[in-house]
Structure 1
Amino acid sequence: MNEQRRAFNRRQFLQGMTQFAVVAAAAPALGSSDAWRGVDCTTLTAGRPEDVGMSSERLEDVFARIQRRVSDGLFPGATALVARHGVVVGHRAFGSKVAGADEPVTLDTIFDLQSMTKVLSTAAAALALVQEGVIALDAPVARYLPEFAANGKGAITVHDMLRYSAGLPVDNQFLDVADDETVWRLMAETPLEYAPGTSVLYSDLTYRLLGRMIAAAAGQDLDTVAGTRIWGPLGMNDTMYNPPPALHERVAATGYSDLRGYTVRGEVQDEQDWALGGVTGCDGVFSTAMDIAVFCQMILNGGAYGGAEILRPDLVRRMKRNNTPQVTEAATDTSPIENLLLTPKGLGWELWTRRFSSGGMRLSPRSYGKAGGAGTFMWVDPDHEIIGVLLTNHGLPQPFDALHWSRMLDAIGCAEFFDGIINAVHG
């Protein structure tokens, strides 16, 4: 069983990876809060591509390419959504919810988002608590989670965690420990791998502990914090952790789990997060393309959507800008896996880069997005005012290493999808 668990661990390749240390630079301080007056409250409506300066013919080509990949058996199914200027100009479903089964994906199919959780739940919830004065970005994590101070981590800030610069390794899993509290303690005591703030290293462990800290500070579980402050006010009714059995027929299955002995459906595919109950800061959120588009439109609007005021504009700007001046794109954007791990980051968000971004090569330089390890992607291009969402049930690469991460991206064609969206813009 131990060998099976090690084989299934999607981050085995990443453990102990040499970090890229560079000269640290101080992050800019959070600006004063902006008034809500004048904030864009655009809500998504349906329309034609030509209504917002896009080509129907070129957009159909984008969707046809997804269909071809599904027909070729590269992944079982998908939904895709494209919006511009608040207008949904394309929303399509492809293939099957379960490989080899006659269960067609529909527009409201719910997907396991894996690491998109870091933005949709954890980072957004953390900033909501900053807005309420419950936590502070420059405060030490140990103020809210005292056990985190072990092994010289007492000065690491909430901001360091959110920007993937806390000094922690990519992960530190304890699948052979049955007691959850012991697992959490062992994770919190994980030693540093590099000096905080001097580098970037994408880390599930960091965000898992960040979710734990949010729950401790708020006195509510992470699911409740995100649900009451983000998803509920936005009407994201299909966004949740641990979909109840009544919804499982709407959920797309991911891959087979050797540890569990069945194909995973309605449960987070990551084994450690499943073992901890499915509600963590790094993985576990399930959602639909439309719910994700609503969230992205809220960010594009500057923190509001319709009548819901979710995050102050200054917090949204802080969330999506480069928070990691200690690293450069030129030095770190050298392969798909290093793009994920080492390139400049926002708070939760990945930032677009020119070579190996999952958002392709044609988004504008200020674009931001997030990939999920089972084959899900969202990107926002503020210069074109475009939102693109591509959700598949490819499942986690097996094993999770540089080669298989690249193969998954190539199989899904996420770069082709986002390049095609920009190609559909007239002029």
Structure 2
Amino acid sequence: MDTADRPFHRRHLLRGLGGIAALTAVVPAVLGSSPAGATTSTVLASGLPEVVGMNSERIEDVFARVQRRVNDGLFPGATALIARRGVIVGHRAFGNKVAGCTEPVTLDTMFDVLSLTKVLATATSVMVLVQQGKLQLSDRVASYLPSFAANGKSSITVLDMLRYSAGLPVDNQRLDEPNVKLVWRAMAETPLEYTPGTSILYSDLTYRLLGRLVEVVSGTDLSTFAHAHIWGPLGMHDTMFKPPAEIAPRVAATGTSSLRGRLVRGEVQDEQDFALGGITGCDGVFSTAMDVAIFCQMILGLGSYGAVQVLTPKSVELMTRNQTPQVSAAATDTSPLNNLLLAPKGLGWEIWTPRFSHGGTRLSPGSFGKAGGAGTFLWIDPARALFGVLLTNHGLPEPFDEIGWNRMLDSIGVVEFFDGMIGAVADAC
């Protein structure tokens, strides 16, 4: 399943991966035990690393390595945060918000988190709707999006979509079509690349359509729903789609768009999501390291943060464990890009595997995380009650192919960051 000689472009279908359908299909179980070591209802507060069994000097080493990469010009700026057992042991800002300009990143700088949107907004919103009784994971997507039934997709379920096993390609962008309604229809009617449920394939298209499903079921747009049921209750006030112009100075720029002819700042970098209005289930959320940390702590708290409960423990269990037994890590964790595209997944989340995960090589089995294509990452290690957030304004790799993806990971040093985070744990558990 090696894609080393097969370029991956977000603007084109990933042809040639239909062979992954040959993997054996297994119906996933949807119940499991709670993540080991999880804390409940903890509110984050700053403290010394030693209070939670971590080493201050090693924490500083992790941050120094991020600073060195910024100093070397590998990306303009970043914020990073590490927390364990509800204690923030380090929160730092590095570099500048705009490449080539002296405009320092601060702790409250907002970043285009791109695909972190899939968990910060979309998958979590779906689970909220399930909790409300308005949706079931076994529901057929075409019941809510009738045009989705085209090309043999009438039996695909919400669960298939959430776990990236619906049979859809990586993407189906239509940047040459100005009629947004026609673009959405074309996306919904996209033919299958493999038999649903037999394999997995990471898919921006799938999550765009899931965002539409949330809107149909809830009767409001994804932004409004996420604010009302996730970000607002949690106090994530710096998390949003389409930041207003007046707060643009707080937002880190991700680069220049040749299509838009300007610096991309406060606008989602992905061209298709921008063309669709900037609010989609795939990309579009902007956030800070602190807000992302609150979300991570809520997940570690089995859906609760302080007195607020966003998800039930069962919902967190379903989202964060491997929901794709039809694939094995041994067969799919064969390169950094294959890890993203083909390796085991939860509901929205990427499940840690030991070879080529961008979470590094030292996380505990059962850890889970998410990457954003412009250079944003989070990983949660429930066995250690530990998580890390690294947000950068590296911007989408150009070109977005295997070499470009590898180069971005190496430039940011994301594996070094998360391996260093684990290396800073000084106790045995």
- For Structure 1 versus Structure 2, the TM-score category normalised by the shorter chain is over 0.9
Distance (Å, rounded) in 2 between the aligned partners of 1:217 and 1:423: 44
1:16 aligns to what?
15
Distance (Å, rounded) in 2 between the aligned partners of 1:29 and 1:329: 19
Distance (Å, rounded) in 1 between the aligned partners of 2:32 and 2:353: 26
Equivalent residues of 2:202, 2:340 under 8 A apart: yes
Distance (Å, rounded) in 2 between the aligned partners of 1:65 and 1:262: 31
2:26 aligns to what?
25
Distance (Å, rounded) in 2 between the aligned partners of 1:367 and 1:294: 17
Q: Match of 1:243, as an amino acid? A: P
**1:291 equivalenced with 2:280 (yes/no):** no
Deviation at 1:39, TM superposition (A): 8.1
Distance (Å, rounded) in 2 between the aligned partners of 1:317 and 1:122: 17
Deviation at 1:213, TM superposition (A): 0.9
Give the match's secondary structure for 2:209.
helix
Q: Match of 1:260, as an amino acid? A: R
- CA 1:400/1:14 → structure 2, altered by over 3 Å: closer, same or farther? farther
Deviation at 1:84, TM superposition (A): 0.3
Give the match's secondary structure for 2:17.
coil
Deviation at 1:29, TM superposition (A): 3.9
How do residues 238-387 of structure 1 correspond to structure 2 at under 5 angstroms? 238-387=238-387
- CA 1:53/1:269 → structure 2, altered by over 3 Å: closer, same or farther? same
Deviation at 1:251, TM superposition (A): 0.2
Deviations 1:77-103 (A, max 9, x none): 000000000000000000000001110
- CA 1:90/1:176 → structure 2, altered by over 3 Å: closer, same or farther? same
Distance (Å, rounded) in 2 between the aligned partners of 1:103 and 1:251: 11
- Scaled by the length of structure 2, the TM-score of the pair is 0.95
Give the match's secondary structure for 2:74.
coil
Distance (Å, rounded) in 1 between the aligned partners of 2:317 and 2:290: 23
Distance (Å, rounded) in 2 between the aligned partners of 1:31 and 1:321: 8
Q: Match of 2:27, as an amino acid? A: A
Q: Match of 1:23, as an amino acid? A: T
Q: Match of 1:220, as an amino acid? A: T
Equivalent residues of 1:13, 1:401 under 8 A apart: no
Equivalent residues of 1:10, 1:396 under 8 A apart: no
Deviations 1:4-51 (A, max 9, x none): xxxxx942476214141211111114589x9xxx98111100100011
1:89 aligns to what?
89
Distance (Å, rounded) in 2 between the aligned partners of 1:50 and 1:195: 50
Equivalent residues of 1:12, 1:401 under 8 A apart: no
Deviations 1:323-352 (A, max 9, x none): 000000000000010000000000000010
- CA 1:352/1:39 → structure 2, altered by over 3 Å: closer, same or farther? closer
Give the match's secondary structure for 1:70.
helix
- CA 1:12/1:234 → structure 2, altered by over 3 Å: closer, same or farther? same
2:418 aligns to what?
418
- What is the alpha-carbon root mean square deviation over aligned residues? 1.5
Distance (Å, rounded) in 2 between the aligned partners of 1:157 and 1:120: 21
Deviation at 1:147, TM superposition (A): 1.3
Equivalent residues of 1:15, 1:169 under 8 A apart: yes
Distance (Å, rounded) in 1 between the aligned partners of 2:98 and 2:407: 21
State the identity %. 66
- CA 1:30/1:381 → structure 2, altered by over 3 Å: closer, same or farther? closer
1:218 aligns to what?
218
Equivalent residues of 1:10, 1:398 under 8 A apart: no
Distance (Å, rounded) in 1 between the aligned partners of 2:17 and 2:40: 43
- CA 1:387/1:39 → structure 2, altered by over 3 Å: closer, same or farther? closer
Give the match's secondary structure for 1:126.
helix
Q: Match of 2:311, as an amino acid? A: L
1:393 aligns to what?
393
1:404 aligns to what?
404
- CA 1:13/1:151 → structure 2, altered by over 3 Å: closer, same or farther? closer
Equivalent residues of 2:39, 2:85 under 8 A apart: no
**1:208 equivalenced with 2:208 (yes/no):** yes
Equivalent residues of 1:24, 1:326 under 8 A apart: yes
Distance (Å, rounded) in 2 between the aligned partners of 1:29 and 1:365: 19
Equivalent residues of 2:174, 2:272 under 8 A apart: yes
Equivalent residues of 2:169, 2:205 under 8 A apart: yes
Q: Which runs of 5+ in 2 are unaligned?
A: 1-7
1:149 aligns to what?
149
Deviation at 1:263, TM superposition (A): 1.2
Give the match's secondary structure for 1:390.
strand
Q: Structure 1 stretch 95-104 or stretch 143-152: which is displaced more? A: 143-152
Give the match's secondary structure for 1:133.
coil
1:134 aligns to what?
134
- CA 1:31/1:341 → structure 2, altered by over 3 Å: closer, same or farther? closer
**1:173 equivalenced with 2:154 (yes/no):** no
Equivalent residues of 2:75, 2:392 under 8 A apart: yes
Equivalent residues of 2:147, 2:188 under 8 A apart: yes
- CA 1:405/1:24 → structure 2, altered by over 3 Å: closer, same or farther? same
Q: Match of 1:211, as an amino acid? A: G
Q: Match of 1:207, as an amino acid? A: Y
Q: Match of 1:330, as an amino acid? A: A
Equivalent residues of 2:31, 2:317 under 8 A apart: no
- CA 1:112/1:341 → structure 2, altered by over 3 Å: closer, same or farther? same
Deviation at 1:298, TM superposition (A): 0.4
Give the match's secondary structure for 2:90.
strand
Distance (Å, rounded) in 1 between the aligned partners of 2:235 and 2:398: 35
Give the match's secondary structure for 2:384.
coil
How do residues 90-105 of structure 1 correspond to structure 2 at under 5 angstroms? 90-105=90-105
2:161 aligns to what?
161
Distance (Å, rounded) in 2 between the aligned partners of 1:14 and 1:364: 34
Distance (Å, rounded) in 2 between the aligned partners of 1:202 and 1:419: 24
Deviation at 1:290, TM superposition (A): 0.4
Give the match's secondary structure for 1:290.
helix
Distance (Å, rounded) in 2 between the aligned partners of 1:402 and 1:107: 32
Distance (Å, rounded) in 1 between the aligned partners of 2:40 and 2:50: 23
